[in-house]
Amino acid sequence: MPILRLEMHPGRTQDQKRDFVREATRVAVEILKCPPESVDIVIQEVPREQWAKGGKLLSEG
């Protein structure tokens, strides 16, 4: 069973998340040849103050 994990900043709408999981599931089924019921997707929203890039916290610009 594939488990897809997506980490992103908060702010996406429920419609955007719904569209994402529908399309990600469709692609997983197509490429991995598995039933849609076996695809799990976990969306975790991580606030900007908990995210860093290039040695700097994103919350600090």
pTM, two decimal places: 0.83
When pLDDT is averaged across residues 41-46 and rounded to a whole number, the result is: 98
DSSP, res 54? T
Written as one string, the DSSP assignment of 14-48 is: HHHHHHHHHHHHHHHHHHH---GGG-EEEEEE--G
Distance CA(10)–CA(40), nearest Å, equals: 20
> What total number of domains does the chain contain?
1
CATH of the domain at 42: 3.30.429.10
How far lies 41's CA from each of 13, 15, 23, 59, in Å? 16, 15, 11, 27
Q: For the chain, what is the mean pLDDT?
A: 96
> What's the confidence (pLDDT) of residue 61?
75
| Residue 2 bears catalytic tag | yes
Parent domain of 39? 3-60
**CA 37 and chain centroid, separation:** 18
Indicate which residue of 2, 10, 35, 36 is catalytic. Answer: 2
